[in-house]
């Protein structure tokens, strides 16, 4: 009798054992015993989340769920439980599963399911790392705002006999084994620099450590400072004194005194203080490319020793005021007229350049990275694994002022937050991931 084929939209769950054939060849009896235990565990979780086991095939299980959220929660709980069972066991006694989940339309015949939706879930399962969970874009759309999990976008993957590529996301969860990235040849390759960060083993490798973040930050700061100095010197050489090259760049300049005024002497505080002021005109040369002229003031106070024993309060007050006003320093001047010039300082412009260049590199030019992050293999991503927009990169970098302004506590939050987020990451809803962790683990 012919049965009509029915169709339905469902969440397809595929899982299988990593290295099952190899384990059977080494210890057939023990492997079969452990497989039965894992089957019972998986079946119990599927039933608890109101799913249905469609079929068991050797080491593989196919199930479907009416709820996408329940399917993903079930997968995470299975991997957590399996990890707890595997911890402490010898490598040959561990049984690790990889899981793929897809939301799609399937055909139903005699309680079995077929079709493109099943093929995609099976493909995702084969690409997952040991202990890992890969989901399709359709699943991610349904759960990204409903579950407090990390998601890494892993690019678009080709599935056999399916024309369109499938967007793939890796779920980051604490059940992911520390060595899960050391996947076999069938595992998902790390994406190119233009795609999002790949899924990696766990928080120790997925999320950037504080040491790596500080190292990358220092490289970025040094590189941008050097760039700003070079640009500043060239600008002054070409356009004159439109900016002031100031500390901490002054020590690299060479100086020559153009003119020295005669020192002026003033007797103050009732004859207890002799104030000597020396002014000179100094030309600074920066690498022989640009020059700036400053008026240098040097003040010396010679205080009579009897001032220490003076009983008049006014004497002490007058001396304190003189010391406060006795300021040494340099003022930028026009070399022709000698008039004082008020110009933007290069240090202020360097700080502005830092925020501008970091925003542009993370949000547009380097797609979540920067010079320092590239050298350390780091990348900024949205909390759900999505690429960082220009706006989010701007918010993240401006919020660094808060991380620094809280006596660096905002930065040190990387040490204890679940996803290694600093305060500025939280403001922008971002994470910093180690984009090369998977590739390094394989090698």
pLDDT at 181: 35
With a pLDDT cut of 70, the percent of the chain lying above it is: 83
**Among candidate residues 108, 127, 105, the one with its CA nearest the CA of residue 116:** 105
Which of the four pLDDT bands, split at 50, 70 and 90, describes residue 142? very high
Whether residue 138 has pLDDT greater than 80 = yes
Confidence of residue 199 (pLDDT cuts 50, 70, 90): very low
Residue 283, pLDDT score: 93
Which residue has better confidence, 424 or 3? 424
Global pTM reads: 0.54
Q: How far apart are CA 430 and CA 437, in angstroms?
A: 18
Task: Indicate if the pLDDT at residue 3 is higher than 80.
Answer: no
pLDDT digits (tens, 9 = 90+) for 90-105: 777 888 999 999 999 9
Q: What is the DSSP string of 172-214?
A: E-TTS-TTTTS--TTSPPPP-TTSPPPP-SSHHHHBPPHHHHH
Q: Lowest-confidence range among 175-189, 192-206, 235-249, 374-388?
A: 192-206
CA distance 223 to 217: 10
Return the minimum-mean-pLDDT range out of 56-65, 159-168, 281-290, 332-341.
Answer: 159-168
Confidence class of residue 196 from pLDDT cuts 50, 70 and 90? very low
Evaluate if residue 201 carries a pLDDT over 70: no
81 Cβ contact partners less than 8 Å away, ≥ 6 residues apart: 41, 45, 175
Mean pLDDT is highest, among 174-178, 273-277, 306-310, for: 273-277
User: Which of 139, 102, 103, 140 is closest to 121 using CA atoms?
Assistant: 102
Q: Does residue 2 surpass a pLDDT of 50? A: yes
Please check whether residue 202 is in contact with residue 130, taking contact to mean a CB–CB distance below 8 angstroms: no
- 423 vs 421: CA distance, rounded Å: 7
- Least confident range from 134-138, 154-158, 197-201: namely 197-201
Q: What distance in Å separates the CA atoms of residue 378 and residue 370, rounded to the nearest whole number?
A: 9
User: Does 325 score more than 80 pLDDT?
Assistant: no
User: Is the pLDDT score of 125 beyond 70?
Assistant: yes
Residue 401: per-residue pLDDT: 93
For residues 32 and 60, the answer to whether their CB atoms sit within 8 Å is: no
Write the DSSP string, 288-357: TTEEEEEEEEEEEEEE-GGGGG---HHHHHHHHHHHHH---EEEEE-TTT--B----BHHHHHHHHHHHH
Q: Contact at 8 Å (CB) between 339 and 311? A: no
Residue 153 has pLDDT above 80, yes or no: yes
Binned at pLDDT 50, 70 and 90, residue 311 comes out as: low
The more confident residue out of 355 and 385 is 355
277 CB neighbour count, 10 Å cutoff: 15
Confidence of residue 4 (pLDDT cuts 50, 70, 90): low
Reported as a pLDDT band with limits 50, 70 and 90, residue 205 is very low
Per-residue confidence (pLDDT) for residue 7, from 0 to 100: 87
Confidence of residue 202 (pLDDT cuts 50, 70, 90): very low
Bridge partners of 441, per DSSP, are none
Q: Which long-range contacts (CB under 8 A, 24 or more apart) does 317-324 make?
A: 318/268, 318/269, 318/270, 318/272, 318/273, 319/269, 319/272, 319/273, 322/268, 322/269, 322/273, 322/275
Which residues make beta-bridge pairs with 297? Answer: 279, 329
| Cβ atoms 136, 102 nearer than 8 A | yes
CB 216 within 8 A of CB 375: yes
The number of beta carbons lying within 10 Å of the beta carbon of residue 431 is: 26
| Closest listed residue to residue 440, CA positions, set 206, 211, 219 | 206
Give the tens place of pLDDT for each residue, 233-283. Answer: 999 999 999 999 987 777 888 999 998 888 888 787 666 777 888 889 999
What 46-50 contacts at long range (C-beta under 8 Å, 24+ apart), as own/partner pairs, is 46/13, 46/74, 48/74, 49/73, 49/74, 49/77
- 294 near 330, Cβ under 8 Å? yes
Domains of the chain, CATH where assigned? 6-189 (3.30.70.1230), 210-224+348-442 (no CATH), 245-342 (no CATH)
Mean pLDDT (the chain, rounded):
82
Report yes or no: 357 and 349 within 8 Å, Cβ to Cβ.
no
Element (H, E) at 19: none
Q: What is the largest CA-CA distance in the chain?
A: 123
Q: Is the pLDDT of residue 126 over 60?
A: yes
Residue 306, pLDDT score: 66
pLDDT at 315: 58
Q: How many whole angstroms separate alpha carbon 32 and alpha carbon 311?
A: 99
Count other Cβ atoms within 10 Å, centred on residue 236. 21
Q: Give me the mean pLDDT over the 161-170 stretch.
A: 82
Asked if residue 286 lies in contact with residue 236, where contact means CB atoms within 8 angstroms, the answer is yes
Average the pLDDT over 47-76 and give the result.
93
Mean local confidence (pLDDT), 312-323 = 64
pLDDT, tens only, 373-395: 989 889 898 876 678 889 999 99
CA pair distance 42, 15, nearest whole angstrom: 10
Query: What length does the chain have?
Result: 443
Q: What's the pLDDT score for residue 441? A: 39
Confidence of residue 356 (pLDDT cuts 50, 70, 90): very high
Report the range of poorest mean pLDDT among 180-184, 378-382, 409-413. Answer: 180-184
Least confident of 50-54, 114-118, 126-130, 313-317: 313-317
């Amino acid at each position: 009798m012919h049965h009509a084929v029915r169709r339905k939209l469902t969440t397809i769950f595929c899982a299988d054992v990593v290295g099952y054939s190899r384990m059977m060849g080494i210890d057939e009896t023990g492997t079969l015993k452990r497989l039965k235990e894992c089957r019972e565990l998986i079946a119990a979780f599927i039933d608890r989340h109101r799913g249905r086991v469609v079929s068991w095939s050797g080491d593989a299980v196919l199930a479907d769920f009416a709820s996408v959220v329940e399917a993903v929660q079930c997968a995470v709980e299975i991997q957590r439980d399996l990890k707890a069972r595997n911890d402490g066991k010898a490598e040959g006694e561990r049984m690790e599963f990889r899981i793929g989940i897809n939301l799609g339309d399937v055909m139903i015949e005699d309680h079995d399911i077929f079709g493109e939706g099943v093929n995609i879930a099976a493909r995702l399962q084969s690409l997952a790392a040991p202990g890992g969970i890969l989901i399709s874009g359709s699943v991610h759309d349904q759960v990204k705002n409903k579950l407090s999990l990390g998601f890494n976008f892993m690019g678009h993957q080709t599935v056999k006999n399916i024309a369109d590529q499938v967007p793939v996301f890796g779920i980051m969860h604490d059940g992911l084994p520390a060595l899960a990235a050391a996947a076999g040849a069938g595992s998902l390759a790390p994406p190119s620099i233009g795609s999002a960060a790949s899924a990696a083993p766990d928080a120790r490798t997925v999320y950037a450590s504080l040491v790596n973040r500080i190292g990358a930050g220092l490289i970025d700061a040094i590189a941008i400072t050097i760039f700003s100095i070079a640009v500043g010197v060239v600008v002054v050489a070409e356009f004159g004194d439109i900016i002031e090259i100031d500390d901490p760049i002054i020590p690299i300049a060479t100086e020559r005194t153009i003119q020295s005024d005669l020192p002026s002497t003033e007797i103050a505080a009732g004859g207890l203080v002799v104030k000597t002021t020396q002014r000179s005109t100094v030309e600074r040369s920066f690498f022989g490319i640009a020059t700036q002229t400053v008026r240098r003031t040097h003040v010396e106070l010679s205080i009579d020793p009897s001032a220490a024993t003076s009983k008049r309060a006014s004497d002490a007050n007058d001396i304190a005021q003189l010391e406060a006003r006795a300021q040494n320093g340099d003022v930028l001047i026009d070399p022709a007229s000698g008039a004082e010039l008020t110009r933007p300082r290069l240090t202020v412009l360097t700080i502005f350049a830092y925020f501008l260049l970091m925003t542009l590199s993370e949000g547009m030019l380097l797609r979540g990275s920067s010079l320092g992050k590239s050298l350390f293999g780091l990348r900024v991503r949205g909390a759900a694994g999505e690429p960082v927009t220009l706006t989010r990169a701007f918010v993240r970098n401006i919020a660094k002022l808060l991380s620094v302004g809280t006596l660096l506590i905002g930065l040190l939050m990387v040490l204890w937050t679940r996803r290694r987020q600093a305060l500025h990451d939280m403001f922008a809803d971002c994470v910093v991931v180690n984009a090369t962790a998977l590739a390094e683990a394989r090698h």
